[in-house]
Amino acid sequence: MNDAFEFDPDMALVVKVAPEDQLDLTPEELEKEVPPRVLHPHDPHAPDNITQFSFKDRVYKPDNQVDHTAWHLAVDGVLMLSDSPEAQEEDDTRERKAREQEVRDSTEAVDVSVEHIEGDPDPAVNTLRNQFHFADRGSQTKNGIIRDRGISTEPPSTTTHNETVTQWSIYDHYMKDIEATKDKAEGTRKLTNEDMIGSKKPGGEADPLYGDPMRLVIKIMERMVNHNAEEDIYSDLKYWEDRSDDYREGDGTLLPLWRFASEKAKRKQVTCIRCNPKYSDLFAVGFGSYDFLKQGTGVICCYSIKNTRFPEYVFNTDSGVCCLDWHPSHPAMLAIGLYDGTVLVHDVRSKGRKPLYQSTIRTNKHTDPVWEVHWNTEDSAGVLNFFSISADGRVSIWRLMKDKLESEQLMQLKIAAPSPEAGKHDSQRPAPAPEDDTGLAGLAGGLCFDFHLTIDHLFLIGTEEGKIHKCSKDFSGQYLATYEGHTMAVYTVRWNNYHPRMFISASADWTVKLWDHTQESCLMSFDLGQAVGDVAWAPYSSTAFAAITSDGIVHFYDLSVNRNERICYQKVVRKAKLTHIMFNTTEPIIFVGDDRGGVNCLKLSPNLRKFCVVTEEDGDVTREELEVRKMNEFLEMAVGPQKEHAVGAEAGA
């Protein structure tokens, strides 16, 4: 026997018996190969013909992504581990709801207990219901019983009235009703600010709420609030300088600071701007209209840089304001010219808003708009007086008497036929020929004038015909000289602040011209490409000036830097026309008005405010003499030596 298999007689014998239903296969069937059974992840019952629309290709495409998962049994469990976060969260929720229920039960009923007295039976405990706990219940109510009652009265008395209704009787009844309404309105009129200011109590004492001290305190407080709100802008005014000027060759810029506007001047045009000669922060603005078909009332607003939100003084006029001027010695006196030819004199210190003086037809007022007014020096009697020029062709002088305003015609602006001798100085002009009526066609409309700073009797006049006339107070019947260079109306003419011979003019013919009153033609002409509304000399330099055009652009020239090109060209407003410009006398700022009722304040960069500085090498020469010397140097380069011109200037003086 083999050693690998040892027979054990105690081992159980295992006999394999085939079951009765076992399949009995033949040898051929046993040798036949049976294909294996394999499990595939695809569901044979899943659809294979699904199509979806492709928005990218704009066609229907078959969708092969079909879910082949087959769920035979799914049972959701409700048990969770006691240490799991879900179980802990459920316990916390159950405890929170239990605490809320305890609080709710304690607030629904209130227990009221009474102290028990010995010997008495136990008192009953009364539980009060919460008065804020309601329940809706339905009930029926009884209907009210309707009763009918009758009463007898006397009939009302009747009368018969007959009247004939006419148009005038209806008018009389309406007028009576209007008068009764006016009387009632006057009786119940509310107190205005002017009535409250200076009002007194029943005892005769002044009301402290509306007195002058309180008014002054409120004004100071308003300025402080405005200064704190615009602290950055005030800092720019005092300390900001454009450092980019160091890298430009003479060019400069304008920095916008404020825009002064008032609701009372809405939809009106700025017709004039004047700075106060004593208080440099105060300036007056006149509002009106240059359109003949859109005339209305006028407004005068006196603004201060210390309060840019609201004007310090406001005056209303019956007609549009065309011009105004401050008195150089009495800074509270303001002369005003209106569109209807009236001249006014206001004292801004007065509490009332009525003018001190007003011209009328009896005082021979102008018949056309007054385009400019100018205060004159006091006469020998100490009477204040001022000049006015109007489109009716008259230059008048107005004297402020004790209780009235007296006028005197200084001269009439006659239209003379053009001649080759026009523009020459009176010393160069031949003797006048006999007067001929055919040489005169009427009166010229005056638009502007300006008086010489040193020669008291000399002044210039600009007309609608484009001519500039040199006139004198001593010879009011004729012109000393006529300058022909402009082809359209002359809007502005201004003497130079330093040089006694130079003046400048601006016209609607798009040009600004520089003149010497001893020469027959202009020295230089600057074409700005649009109608020039105003021009002004800089108060700190004899060669710098600024002009504005109707397209909203400010043009700045300095002849000592560049006599041909402007050194600043900047658009200030959009979709608006600029009307007037004014330099401030102490601060490096300018005021520019437009036809939308606004005044823009802009600061000049360092390149735009260069002036002469007196050094030790100059000796005893003043700054004014240096400015005159600077202008003479420019004239020598532009037109040649000025010896002959100096002689002519002395003759004109």
Contact 623, 611 (CB under 8 A): yes
Q: Identity (one letter) of the amino acid at 618?
A: D
Distance of alpha carbon 581 from alpha carbon 192, whole angstroms: 36
Comparing CA positions, the residue from 630, 641, 460 lying closest to residue 542 is 630
The verdict on residue 182 lying in a domain is: no
Q: List, as one string, the DSSP characters of 47-64.
A: -S--EEEETTTTEEEE--
* Paired strand residues for 450: 460
The verdict on residue 617 lying in a domain is: yes
The verdict on residue 38 lying in a domain is: no
- Asked if pLDDT for residue 87 goes beyond 80, the answer is yes
The pLDDT-based confidence of 193 (bands split at 50, 70, 90) is low
Comparing CA positions, the residue from 257, 220, 254, 219 lying closest to residue 235 is 257
Comparing 98-102, 161-165, 202-206, which segment has the lowest mean pLDDT? 202-206
- Asked if pLDDT for residue 228 goes beyond 60, the answer is yes
> Which tokens belong to 151?
């009463």
Please identify which residue in the block is written with the tokens 């329940």.
135
Grouping H, G, I as helix, E, B as strand and the rest as coil, residue 400 is strand
Q: Taking residues 174-196, what's their average pLDDT?
A: 72
Angle CA 527–559–485, to nearest 5: 40
Comparing CA positions, the residue from 271, 278, 239, 231 lying closest to residue 255 is 239
Predicted local confidence at residue 433, as pLDDT: 40
pTM above 0.85, yes or no: no
The verdict on residue 413 lying in a domain is: yes
Comparing CA positions, the residue from 524, 494, 518, 497 lying closest to residue 506 is 494
Distance of alpha carbon 7 from alpha carbon 13, whole angstroms: 12
Question: Which residues have a Cβ under 8 Å from the Cβ of 97 and sit 6 or more positions away?
Answer: none
Q: Identity (one letter) of the amino acid at 512?
A: V
Q: List, as one string, the DSSP characters of 63-104.
A: ---------S---------TTSHHHHHHHHHHHHHHHHHHHH
Distance of alpha carbon 499 from alpha carbon 511, whole angstroms: 22
Mean pLDDT of the chain: 82
Predicted local confidence at residue 544, as pLDDT: 93
Grouping H, G, I as helix, E, B as strand and the rest as coil, residue 501 is coil
Q: Taking residues 242-249, what's their average pLDDT?
A: 79
> Which tokens belong to 635?
């004239």
Q: Taking residues 398-418, what's their average pLDDT?
A: 84
Counting beta carbons within 10 angstroms of the beta carbon of residue 567, is it exposed (0 to 12), middle (13 to 18) or buried (19 or more)? buried
Domain around 407: 251-652
Rg (CA), the chain: 51
HEC-encoded secondary structure of 197-215:
CCCECCCCCECCCCCHHHH
Comparing 211-215, 381-385, 445-449, which segment has the lowest mean pLDDT? 211-215
Does an H or E element contain 212, and which?
A: helix 212-229
Q: Taking residues 6-16, what's their average pLDDT?
A: 71
Query: How many structural domains does the chain have?
Result: 1
Q: Identity (one letter) of the amino acid at 218?
A: I
Comparing CA positions, the residue from 526, 571, 562 lying closest to residue 544 is 562
* Paired strand residues for 599: 260, 593
Contact 299, 320 (CB under 8 A): no
Contact 449, 386 (CB under 8 A): no
Phi, psi of 449 (to 5 degrees): -155, 165
Q: List, as one string, the DSSP characters of 269-298.
A: EEEEEEE-SS-TTEEEEEEE-S-GGG---E
The pLDDT-based confidence of 78 (bands split at 50, 70, 90) is confident
- Asked if pLDDT for residue 440 goes beyond 60, the answer is no
The pLDDT-based confidence of 141 (bands split at 50, 70, 90) is confident
Phi, psi of 315 (to 5 degrees): -130, 135
Comparing CA positions, the residue from 570, 612, 589 lying closest to residue 303 is 589
Distance of alpha carbon 583 from alpha carbon 477, whole angstroms: 34
Comparing 201-215, 301-315, 461-475, 630-644, which segment has the lowest mean pLDDT? 201-215
Comparing CA positions, the residue from 632, 630, 652 lying closest to residue 643 is 632
Distance of alpha carbon 244 from alpha carbon 252, whole angstroms: 9
Task: CATH number of the domain at 456, please.
Answer: 2.130.10.10
The verdict on residue 496 lying in a domain is: yes
Among 371-375, 431-435, 638-642, the range with the most confident prediction by mean pLDDT is: 371-375
Give the CA count within 13 Å in the CB-facing half-sphere of 519. 20
Distance of alpha carbon 254 from alpha carbon 601, whole angstroms: 10
Q: List, as one string, the DSSP characters of 547-595.
A: EEETTSEEEEEETTT-SSS-SEEEE--SSS-EEEEEE-SSSSEEEEEET
> Which tokens belong to 198?
């200076």
The verdict on residue 485 lying in a domain is: yes
- Asked if pLDDT for residue 124 goes beyond 70, the answer is no
> Which tokens belong to 586?
């102490």
The verdict on residue 438 lying in a domain is: yes
Predicted local confidence at residue 336, as pLDDT: 94
Contact 292, 269 (CB under 8 A): no
The verdict on residue 40 lying in a domain is: no
Predicted local confidence at residue 435, as pLDDT: 44
> In whole angstroms, what separates CA 571 from the centre of its chain?
16
The pLDDT-based confidence of 649 (bands split at 50, 70, 90) is very low
> How is residue 198 annotated by DSSP?
T
- Asked if pLDDT for residue 514 goes beyond 70, the answer is yes
If one counts every other C-beta atom within 10 angstroms of the C-beta of residue 649, the result is 19
pLDDT digits (tens, 9 = 90+) for 568-589: 989 999 888 999 999 998 999 9
- What are the strands, taking DSSP E only, across 280-330? 282-288, 298-304, 313-317, 321-326
Q: Taking residues 167-194, what's their average pLDDT?
A: 77
